[in-house]
Amino acid sequence: MHGECFYLLRRVRTFVLIGALITVASSCATTINLAAPTTLAQPAVTTLPTGTTSELFGQMKSTLSDLSLAITNEDKSRAKTTLATVLNIWGSLQPQIVTEGGETVDQTVVDMERIVDLASSSVQRTRPADADKALRFLDLVIQSQQ
């Protein structure tokens, strides 16, 4: 009889423990807002910017500076629009960099892709520091082109 009580008490404790774990686990559930936007801004302009490589680098520099400011000011709409402009400028700049060639063309393209990735993450993660890094890296790329 004593063995049965011990066995029964042990089973009850096990069920209580499992029930408590389920309760705790379910209370930590994440609520998913399906109405929230899940994508970054896509380029709103279908016509890509034009200009020389130097002019496009200048446009990119100015736009990245605006991006950092928009994120710092928590203006998400402006940040997304500015990111779309960065993507459009890169869409025009990349083929020009490749066409002009040179010894470092591959490295320049990789560096610029990193800059664009930092700009994207700055908007996605609301990190003005990423936009600032992108701007500093762009300065280095521009200097390497001269």
Q: For the segment 67-80, what is each residue's pLDDT rounded down to a tens digit?
A: 999 999 999 999 99
Q: For the segment 52-65, what is each residue's pLDDT rounded down to a tens digit?
A: 999 999 999 999 99
Task: Answer whether residue 43 shows pLDDT above 90.
Answer: no
More confident residue, 21 or 143: 143
CA pair distance 134, 139, nearest whole angstrom = 9
Band of residue 21 on the pLDDT scale cut at 50, 70, 90: very low
Give the pLDDT confidence score for residue 29 in this predicted structure: 47
Closest CA to 130 of 120, 145, 140: 120
Please give the torsion angle defined by the CA atoms of residues 125, 131, 133 and 134, in that order, rounded to the nearest 10 degrees.
120
Task: Answer whether residue 47 shows pLDDT above 90.
Answer: no
